[in-house]
Each structure stands twice: as structure tokens, then as C-alpha cells.
Structure 1
Amino acid sequence: MPNIILNRKLFSCILVLFSCIVLQAQNKTIDSLLTLLKNEKTDTGKVNHFNNLFFEYEYTDNIKAKEYLDNALELSEKIDYKKGLATTYIHLGWFAEDMGNYQQAIIHYQQSLKISEKLADKKSISATLGNIGVAYYNLSDFPKALDFYFKTLKIAEELGDKNKIQKQLGNIGIIYHEQGDYSKALDYYFKALKIAKELDDKYGIASDNGSIGNAYKAQAYIAISHQGYKESDSLYIKALDYYFKALKLFEELDDKTKIATQLTNIGTVYHDQKDYQKALDYYFKALKIDKELGDKNGIATNLGNIGSLFTSIKKYAEAEKYMLQALAIADSIGMLKEKIQFENSISELYMQTGNNKKALEHYIKAMKAKDSLFNEAKSREIMNFEFEKKEASIKAEQDKKDALAAADIRRQKIIIWSVISGLLLVIMFAGFIFRSLRVTRKQKQVIEIKSKETEEQKKVIEEQKKIVEEKNKDITDSINYANRIQRAILPHRRDIWAAFPQSFVLFKPKDIVSGDFYFFHKNEQSAFIAAVDCTGHGVPGAFMSMLGVSFLNEIVRKKEIMKASDILDHLRDSIIEALQQKGQTGEQKDGMDIALCAINTANFQLQFAGANNPLFIIRGKKPQGFQNIEVLGNIEEIEPDKQPVAIYENMRPFTNNVINLQKGDTIYLTSDGYQDQFGGPKNKKFKIKQLKEIFLNIADKPMLEQREILDTTFENWRGELEQIDDVTILGLKI
């Protein structure tokens, strides 16, 4: 024990000493740059020094970093230094990203891009396009990120810049990985790996091997979800092979952080393969390195992995110990997302051991952590907004000073020339000038009075306009944030594709936020999917949708209700209780319509329960024994119960329809927004009949193509008219 304490003290001293050395080196660099700036004679040189000083302060002093960027921007504009201006806008983009303001970063990058395009600077154009791609990636706008990565790749290929090509191929692979297209991701990872080998770039080779391992592991998850256990075994073997290659190279590079990451990845594969002892060995190896590095994030992650493994083998006491340690660290360093995950895992652990009181306690803590995550992000947005407002105020004040100074100069010039002209004219026409000056003086007084009145009126109008704009921005920012929160609680489409590779989601909110939502959950036996239409749209509908998602998660995930009709009965009870509905007039309007399916993934038996929204199935023939199935051509319409999920005058239990699906059957779930849309040549509703005809016409096409056809048809029908409601359509092929 004493040796351990000594080693820890020694390690702490080394860390402190290293930090001091780095700080001292940074201070020397800053001192050198300040000396160069002081002695610099050229304005272009000063701009470059300002940008270099930004680098030094970027991660240590935001105020000074921004101050040097403002100096660089002001001087670049003053001397029309295009190259310096392009560079400064790039750095302003980086600064905005550091603040978490990715939209503002994109604006700065685009300003830089325009200048670089005018200068025909292909290298800068390529770098800027890449930066825009990264910003869109951070906003989870993967299609736009992919578009900019491909543009960057094209220019890098034209320049023959293999380093840039290798990096962009890897970035493109990551986007396809995020979108769940693991085959394409692997194609680009392997292309990146090939170039990294040509460049003898050990770090690139190691990173690409790790990415390939991640893609094979993701494919293994999909194979398991389709009962492809033999296929998953071979994919796990491939994943391990590439993880071990990455591990070996990172060990040669002595990159401790990456070594720990690969050890963790290897542990997760063994964990999935139920080789628990090997998984534990690698988790503990990774944990040891994380502790040596003082990487609390890594420590919490691996403690959580170890706790999860002990839960899998029903060693609940050990699981509890490691999970609580992971939670304590996550809590201490503000890892809110991980805290939510650990609180939920601990809640499930206590549920398995029958300790319902503690299970509920940690579930409530998870919900509170979610609220904190929301509030933290909102506070960050407010800080960004205040920062931008202050910056705009400072700029406006400076612009005002500049305008006054320019006006003074112009006034002085006018006075000088007036005096000279006046003297000459006095000599020639003294009497005439005298009378003219009197008239001019009176006119000037009138003009000044009117100008002052106009200026005061303008100021009042501008102040009122500013107040309105700020209020509108506050409201819009809040709604945009609500949109991000709403999208975050929707199921990831990658999870739906993993369970049903032939599927699509068409989700078109009328406003920024939506009263529609879709739900998906898969357990070992069944997959649950629903299209839900809440009362109203926009903000009121969005609030109702968040209630719906929360209640469905509780009913399906926590209570494990498996029967479709029972799920709707429980959902109705939760809605009535939450909204405190007593049966008064108008309360039945506050609720939701829903089409919900529970599909047994082993025998493809489908349960359907609906509240005002039907289910559509396309296959060869109508099954026997269902009177509430209407057939149009080859399309079956499973009728819903004509009642909402809310308090209702004639409430009755929801009907549970059981249908045996066959391979190749296609099902569609919809809200009513599509068929209710006005448009076409006579500005009429689209109607359900046309929608069913589209389903019949497109059923044999690939699912993503079906989505495009539905989307294009809707937009063509709508034309210039406003979208009247939220639109949701889900399609699955068995």
C-alpha cells in the first residue's frame, strides 16, 4: 500500500511539473509573438500576428482570443487584405465552434469561402469546405456534412493532396456509419486505409483499423437482430482482428488514450460474445490506463462497462459497486449524458433484484438529469445569445464613432472650401454674399431642426424594431431548441433500419416543432412501432408529443406491456391522469390518434391497435376471419377504433387485431396530415383513396425510393399552398 501511495504522489508531481513546463513554454511563445507584433512595420504582418495570438489563447482565454480575432478582422478589412480576411473568418468559425455555436461557425466559414473562391485558392477552399462539413456533422445534419466532405475530397484529388484525401475518405466513412450504411462506411474506411499505408502514416493506419472494427461490430449487431448468429460470429472475428491491429500500432506510437479506447472496444466484443472473463480482462486493462492518464471520462465509461457485465452474469452486488462508482465520477465532472445512462442502468439493476424503491429513485434521478441536460444546453444558448448581442452593441458603437469622425472630416473640408470661396466672392460680390449668407444661415437652422426631429423619430423606430427583433429571436431560438430536444427523443432511424433494413420514415413537421411523432422499440421477442398524431401542431402539439414518447417508453420498456391494445389502454390512462381530464366539454380534444403495431420477430405475427388511424398491408390475398379489414385491390386496411387516446364519451377497451404476416408483406402506418393536405389543380384535399393508390403503385420499389416518391408527390400536390398539418408515414417490408 505505501508503494502505491508513493507512485500516485510521484505521478501527481510529474503532472504538475509537466503542466508548468507547458504553461511556461506557452508564455514564452506569447511573449515572442507580442514582441514581433510590437516591432512589426507592415499591416499584413500585424494581421498574421493577431491570428497567431488567437491560436495561443484559443483554449485558455476566450476573451483575449476573441479580442485578437476582432483586431485581425478590423485591420484586414481596413487594408483590404483578402488572404488575412479569409484566414480570420476561418478562425472566427473555430471560435464559434468552441462556444458550441455551429450555425454561426458555418456563417463565418462561408464568408471565408467566398474570399478564397475569389482568390482561386484551392487549398484554402478545400480546407474551408471541410470545416463546414465538420460543423454540419456536429449539428447531426449528415446529408449536408456528406455533401461538403465530397466537395472537399474532389478538390483534394485535383490537388493530389493524399493526406487530405485520406482524411476525407475517413470522414465520409464516419457519416455513412452514423447513417447505418455500414457497407458503404467500410468501402470508404478501406480506401482511407489504403492511402494511409501508401503514406506510411502509422496514426492514420491505426485510426482506420479502429473505424473498420467499429463498422464490423455494428454489422454484427444487425445480424444478431435478424437471428443471424453464425454471420455475427464471423463479423465479430473481423472486428476483433482490426481492433487488435489498431491496438498494436497505437502501442508502437505510445498513444495511451487510443490504447485505452481499443482495449475498451475489444472488451465490448468479448462482452457481446458472452466471453465474460476476456471482456473483464480488457475492461480492467483499459481502466488501468484511464486511471494512469487521469481520464475521468474513460474511467467512468469502463466502470460502467464492468458494472453492466456483472449485471449480465447476475453478480448484482459487484454490478452495483461498479455502477455506483461510474455514476459518482460522471456526476462529479458533469457528464450528464453518461449520468442519465448510468442512472437508468442502476434503476434496471434494482428492478432485477426486486428493490423497486431504489429502482424508482434512480429512474427519477435519470429524469432530473435529462432536465438538467436541457437546462444546461439552454443556458449555453442564452450565453451565446448575450455574447452576440454584446458584440453587436460594441460594433454598433464603434460604427457610430467612425461615422461621426468621417462626418467631422467632411464638415471640416466643406468649411475650408466654403471660407475660401466666400473670401473670393466677398471681394467680388460683398453685398450679394452677405444677403446669401443670411438666407443660407436660416435654411441651415431649419434643416438642422428637421434633421434632429427626423433623427429622433428614426431612433425611436429603430429601438422599437430592435425590441421586436430580439423578442422574435428569443422565441425562434427557444422553438429551434425545442425542435432539437424533440428530435433527440425520437427513435434513431438507425435502430429501425437495424431491425427492418427495408424500411423508411417520412417525417415532415408543419412548423419547427411537430405534434406528430413516431415510436420504435425492440426487445428480444418483438418490435413495437407506431405513428402518432397529437392534438394540434407546433408548440402545443410538441408538448403533447413529448408526453406521448415518455409514456410509451414507460409502458413498453419499463412495464414491458406486450399486447398492442393493452399498450393503448395504458397510454390513455396516463394521458387522462397527466392532463387531469374529468370528462368536461372540450377535454376529449386533448389527446392523440395512433396506429401501433407489435411484431413478433420470430414468427412475424403482428398485433395492431389503432385510435382513429388505420394500418395498411399490401400482399397477395386477404387473410380469413377479420371483418374489420377492407381490401382495395391488393391493399388491406385494418380499421382502428373510432376513439382517441384521451377521455371520451363512449370509452371502451381498444381492439387487439392479430394478423399473420408473410415474407415480402409491406405495412404502412400514417397520421392524417398527408391525406388532409390541400392542393392539386382544384385546391382540394389529397384524400386517403389517393394515398392508398400510391401505396399500391410503389409497394414493389425499394423503401428509400418509396419515401422519395411520397415526399415528391406531397410537395407537388401542395405547390405554393401552406402545409396544413404535420405529416408522418412509416413503411416496413417484412
Structure 2
Amino acid sequence: MITIIGLIFSPSVFSQKIDKSKLEQDLKTVVESKDYEKAAYYSYQLAKSSYSQKENKEALDYLDKYFDYSKKSEDELLEYLAYQLEGDIHLSMNDAGKALNSYKKSLKAANRIGRADFEIEASLATASAFMAQGRHKRAISPLEEGLSLSIVNHNIEAQERAYDLLIQSHKALGNSDKVKEYETLLSDLAPIAEEDNSGLEADVDSQATGTTRRRVRRNNGGLDKLRQVEDSLLAVRYSLEETEQSLRNMEAVSEKQLLEIDLLNKDKELADLEIKAQNARLKNAALIRNFIIVALLLTAALVVVLIRSYRKKIEANKEIDRQNKNIQSSINYAKRIQDAMLVNASVQESLIPESFILFKPRDSVSGDFYWFSEIKSWYDPDVVFAAVDCTGHGIPGAFMSLVGINALNNIVNRGEAESNQILENLDIEIRQALQQETTGNRDGMDIALCIYRKEKNILEFSGAKNPLIYIQDGELHQIKGDSRAIGGYRPTKKKPGPFKKHVVPIDQPTMIYVFSDGFQDQFGGGDNSKFMIKKFKELLLSIHHLPLAEQKRELDKTIEDWKGKEHQTDDILVMGIRLDEV
């Protein structure tokens, strides 16, 4: 019997006393005044109260009202909570199928909000519904996604929950090796979790097993998390008056007081600069001292190695092998982090169903990356996507890719919705992040970025060095990117020209391609030459009519045949998107 723990919010979590009659009267009042945002909120509160009293059918009726009212409001946080509550109710009624549908919707809402803790909770809840159906193999994917997010966000509590559920699923599937692997990882987390939860452990019987303590922490952690979410929701609703009063108090500060504050801040900045200069001097002195110590140690070690080289050869080889394994382990960990940052297949399919991505890192991690996001519009959200080629490859390129992904997400989340302005902002953020104006750092990235505006049936393109290729009615078109890159070296201080925005009408079936330079720069063939852009365009034109999965296979087969026994020259990224008039 598989026991699913620490995921579903039981009715006791919502046991705070609520005056339902007053809430119902408030609901009636706001509906009459057509304040649908508050109507949705009160309906959710009534559903939560009914669930706490185990009145599940009544709770579902209130949730139906919530979903009606929520269509006229835009509270994504409340939408996430409502779907989570609906899933909990269905699961408590042993209807795992409906629970799964609700949890999937909560996961989509969490993705739109962009809160990693919500995405983790929704992923694990989705997996719990699969497990309740006995579909343990299907539960593995959302569990691994939740685990990856919890690792990236250093959420030890969520990692414990994910490992525990992965152990249960693999036990049910008879995967003893996986069970052992995840039990070991879970055991390794125990010391960290014990330290973080020492206050909680004091309330647990001193004779309880480690597994029991972990389950108590996970249960309480999940309840605390939901309570925090609800508290934040209530705070949003009822703290406006306090905020307005605070603003009035701030306006009451006299001009003299503001000037005094400004002078104090300048004094503090000067003091901070002096401290930083002193720290820099101390750091330089320490570096010189450490260099001398290291040089002496290396000299002594070299003498010992020369004397004992033959006798220590086997031990040295073993040590090198161990270090290589540690390095490879670190690279694999970096790959898991990069994979977690990239858009997963389900999000890609939900944004642009007719698409493929050929992604072939030269090393374990990549300096190329692909990126998708949404831009809000009146009806269907616009979709923005990009193929990005960072300076270098491997670990350095991967670090640049993480900086680029974070910068693009920040720019779109701030509301920027024009392709050329996204690139302008990205250039600024990369230069600021790498302090290129002061450090002389020359790292940067080339990018092809598109926005598909469904309502207007157009595609907007802006490029930093990288082009856009599109095929309409059997004819291939290419729009070159601007000659400037994102970040990187600039020979003069003269401000470069702005990025241009190009518009492609989607008035007929259109095949879109954006890519890095890795494909056409690959060496191979009979004379070990580059594949070249001309041959690449001929290949795209010859396969554009094929189904997308076949296009991807043909591209992969072609480059592998061309490469032969040669090493891969660079990271390879090709994105293909098929669009049609809506």
C-alpha cells in the first residue's frame, strides 16, 4: 500500500473560524455592485470554510461560483489557490481523475505567476494525483520537475518531499536501484533538514524514527506554506488603507529632513567606498602572501614528486580519477541546474504547439540556449521566443546562459513588449551584470528574438547578429540581424544604432527558423570543411514541408553524417516553428 504524505491540505488546515453568514451577505453585496474581484475572493473563502467543515459538495458549489466570477477578474494568485483547493477536495473524495485535472490547472497558474514555490507545490500535487490513480510511472516526470526546482531554489523541505514520493513510486514500479539512489539522497539531506527544523523536532517524540520526523516536517511545512499564501492574499486585500496612510506620512516629511537624509546617505556612500578600497588593499596583500605560500608549497611538492614519482604513480592516477569523477559530478549538477532553467517540453507545447528544438551542447552544459515566454494582450497572449548564442561553451557559456535567461525573464516581467526594446534592455542588463564599462569584460551573446502576435497575425523580429529565416509558398526569405551584439566589446564609446524591428505578415502557412551558428560552422564532410550557411538554407528549404518531428530528425541526421568522426565544433541550436493565419 503506497502512502502519499505531505501533499494534500486536509480540512483541518482551513479550520480558522469564519462567519459564513456574514461572508454570504458580503458576497451578495459585491455581486450587486458588480465587484467581481471581491465576489471571486468571497466565494473562495466560503469554499475553503465548507471544506474545513467536510462539506465537500457545498465547497465545490462555491468554487463553481468562484470560477464564474474570476473570469471577470485577473487575480492569478487566487486562481492558483482555487485550483489547488479544488484538487484537494476531489482527492479527499477519492476522485483522483478530477483532482489531477485541477492540479494541472494550478500548475499552469503557478507558471504564469512565476513563483518557484508554487510551481514546486503544484508539480508535487500533480504527481500525487497520478499516484492515487496507481499511475506511478506517469508521476515520475512531475516529481523530477518539482525536485529540480526545489534544488535550484534551495528548498530542502520540498526536496525531502520529492525524494520521498520518488521512493514510493519507484518501489511501486519495482525499480530497486532508483529506490536506493533516492533513499541515499534523502538521507544526505537529513543533517541540513535537522538543523533547519530543530525547533520542530523538539515537539516530536524523542523515540520517533528519522523517516517519521521528516514526514512531520513535510506535513507542517506544506501547511505553513499554504497559510503564508493565504496571509499574503488577505494582506493584499486589507492593507490598502494602511498603505495610503503610510504614503501620507511619507509626504509629511519636510524638505529639510529630506536634505539631511540625502547628506547622510552621501556620507555613508563615501564611507562605504573607503571601506571597499581598504578591503581591496587587504585582499591584494593576502593574494600576494598566498601566492608566495602556494609557490613554496608547489616547489616542495615538485621535489617530492620527482623523488617518489615512480612509487606514487599508481596512487596519483587513482587520485586523478577521483578528482575527475568529482569534476564530472559537479558538471552533471550544473547540467541539472541549466536544464531546470530552460523551458520544459510541456510549457513549449502549450505556448507554440507546432514547434521543435534541436539542441546539441558540445559539452555537458551549453553556451547556447532557447527561451519562451508570454506577453499579455487583450485576448490570446502574444508569444515571445528566442535562440541565443553566448560567448564560449561549456561551463563559461552555461554561466552566461543563466545570466541571459534571468535577464530576459526580468525584462518581460517588467512589461516590455517590443522585440527591439527587449534587446536594448538585454544589452543594458548584460553590461551592468558583467560591469563591462569598468572591468573590460568582453563576454556577450548573439540572439534572434521573435514575438508572435496572434491577434494581428504578424511576427515581429529583432536580431543581434543572428538572422531570421522564414519560408512562405515554397520561397525562402532571410532577415539579417543588426551588426551589433548584446554586451561584448565595443571599439569606440560612440553609442551604437538602435536595434531594428522587422514585421512578417502571417497571412499564409509559414515556417520560421531561428538558430545559433553551431550548425553551419560544424567541420566535416570529405574535406573537413564547414557546413556553411548556404548549404544550411538549402537543407531547410528541402525539409520545410515535412512534419516538425521529421524535420528535427533530418537536421540531426544530416549534421551527424556531416560531422562523421570529427569532434563537435560548437554548441548547436535550431528552433523551428510552424505558424498559420488565425
SS of the equivalent of 1:635 reads strand
2:324 counterpart residue number: 472
- Tell me how many residue pairs correspond in the alignment: 342
Matches within 5 A, 1:378-457: none
Runs (4 or more) in structure 1 with deviation over 6 Å come to 265-269, 279-283, 288-293, 339-342, 374-383, 456-459
TM-superposed CA distance for 1:468, in Å, is 1.1
Q: Does residue 644 of structure 1 match 2:497?
A: no
Letter in 1 for 2:567: E
Letter in 1 for 2:485: P
Equivalent pair of 2:367/2:400 in contact (CA under 8 Å): yes
SS of the equivalent of 2:406 reads helix
Structure 2 CA distance for partners of 1:377 and 1:305, relative to 1, 3 Å? closer
Equivalent pair of 1:340/1:370 in contact (CA under 8 Å): no
Structure 2 CA distance for partners of 1:292 and 1:506, relative to 1, 3 Å? closer
Q: Residue 611 of structure 1: which of 456, 464, 485 is its match?
A: 464
Q: Does residue 720 of structure 1 match 2:565?
A: yes
Q: Residue 430 of structure 2: which of 575, 579, 596 is its match?
A: 575
Distance 1:685 1:270 in 2: 61
Structure 2 CA distance for partners of 1:665 and 1:283, relative to 1, 3 Å? closer
1:706 counterpart residue number: 551
1:672 counterpart residue number: 517
SS of the equivalent of 1:372 reads coil
Q: Does residue 598 of structure 1 match 2:451?
A: yes
Structure 2 CA distance for partners of 1:691 and 1:289, relative to 1, 3 Å? closer
SS of the equivalent of 1:655 reads coil
Q: Residue 475 of structure 2: which of 634, 647, 656 is its match?
A: 634
Q: CA offsets, 1:674-694, max 9 Å, x none?
A: 000000001000000000001
Q: Does residue 566 of structure 1 match 2:421?
A: yes
Matches within 5 A, 1:186-335: 274=68
Distance 1:613 1:597 in 2: 12
Equivalent pair of 1:337/1:373 in contact (CA under 8 Å): no
Q: Residue 387 of structure 2: which of 508, 526, 531 is its match?
A: 531
Structure 2 CA distance for partners of 1:526 and 1:382, relative to 1, 3 Å? same
Letter in 2 for 1:547: V
Q: Which has the higher helix share?
A: 1
Equivalent pair of 2:150/2:156 in contact (CA under 8 Å): no
Equivalent pair of 2:471/2:512 in contact (CA under 8 Å): yes
Q: CA offsets, 1:335-392, max 9 Å, x none?
A: 99339999xxxxxxxxxxxxxxxxxxxxxxxx999441499979999975999xxxxx
Structure 2 CA distance for partners of 1:670 and 1:372, relative to 1, 3 Å? same
1:212 counterpart residue number: none
Letter in 1 for 2:451: A
Distance 1:554 1:292 in 2: 41
Q: Does residue 552 of structure 1 match 2:405?
A: no
Letter in 2 for 1:646: G
Instruction: From the CA coordinates, give the structure whose radius of gyration is larger.
Output: 1
Distance 2:553 2:354 in 1: 14
Distance 1:305 1:722 in 2: 44
1:482 counterpart residue number: 334
Structure 2 CA distance for partners of 1:554 and 1:271, relative to 1, 3 Å? farther
Distance 1:476 1:681 in 2: 34
Distance 1:671 1:638 in 2: 14
2:396 counterpart residue number: 540
Structure 2 CA distance for partners of 1:475 and 1:339, relative to 1, 3 Å? farther
Identity in percent: 34
Equivalent pair of 2:369/2:401 in contact (CA under 8 Å): yes
Structure 2 CA distance for partners of 1:272 and 1:488, relative to 1, 3 Å? farther
Distance 1:477 1:670 in 2: 30
Equivalent pair of 1:267/1:283 in contact (CA under 8 Å): no
How large is the RMSD of aligned CA atoms in angstroms?
Answer: 4.9
2:154 counterpart residue number: 372
Distance 2:106 2:62 in 1: 8
Distance 1:584 1:702 in 2: 48
TM-superposed CA distance for 1:659, in Å, is 1.9
Distance 2:395 2:333 in 1: 12
TM-superposed CA distance for 1:606, in Å, is 1.2
* Structure 1: stretches of 5+ with no match in the other structure: 1-21, 23-57, 60-255, 313-322, 343-366, 388-455, 621-632
Distance 1:341 1:693 in 2: 46
Structure 2 CA distance for partners of 1:465 and 1:572, relative to 1, 3 Å? same
Letter in 1 for 2:415: E
Distance 2:67 2:542 in 1: 43
Q: CA offsets, 1:106-134, max 9 Å, x none?
A: xxxxxxxxxxxxxxxxxxxxxxxxxxxxx
SS of the equivalent of 2:484 reads coil
Distance 2:335 2:65 in 1: 36
Q: Does residue 337 of structure 1 match 2:120?
A: yes
Pick which of 459-468 and 678-687 moved more.
459-468
Structure 2 CA distance for partners of 1:292 and 1:703, relative to 1, 3 Å? closer
TM-superposed CA distance for 1:503, in Å, is 1.5
TM-superposed CA distance for 1:501, in Å, is 2.7
Equivalent pair of 2:84/2:122 in contact (CA under 8 Å): no
1:502 counterpart residue number: 354
TM-superposed CA distance for 1:474, in Å, is 0.8
Matches within 5 A, 1:38-77: none
1:685 counterpart residue number: 530
1:732 counterpart residue number: 577
TM-superposed CA distance for 1:652, in Å, is 2.6
Letter in 2 for 1:665: T
Matches within 5 A, 1:26-45: none
1:463 counterpart residue number: 315
Structure 2 CA distance for partners of 1:271 and 1:614, relative to 1, 3 Å? farther
TM-superposed CA distance for 1:660, in Å, is 1.2
Q: Residue 655 of structure 1: which of 476, 495, 500 is its match?
A: 500
Distance 1:464 1:385 in 2: 33
Equivalent pair of 2:83/2:106 in contact (CA under 8 Å): no
Letter in 2 for 1:500: I
Distance 2:184 2:406 in 1: 29
Structure 2 CA distance for partners of 1:267 and 1:276, relative to 1, 3 Å? farther
Pick which of 367-376 and 689-698 moved more.
367-376
Distance 2:511 2:62 in 1: 35
Distance 2:92 2:187 in 1: 39
SS of the equivalent of 2:487 reads coil
Distance 1:369 1:545 in 2: 18
- TM-score w.r.t. length of structure 1: 0.40
Structure 2 CA distance for partners of 1:503 and 1:269, relative to 1, 3 Å? farther
* Structure 2: stretches of 5+ with no match in the other structure: 4-50, 72-78, 126-148, 164-180, 189-307
SS of the equivalent of 1:710 reads helix
Q: CA offsets, 1:32-78, max 9 Å, x none?
A: xxxxxxxxxxxxxxxxxxxxxxxxxx99xxxxxxxxxxxxxxxxxxx
TM-superposed CA distance for 1:661, in Å, is 1.9
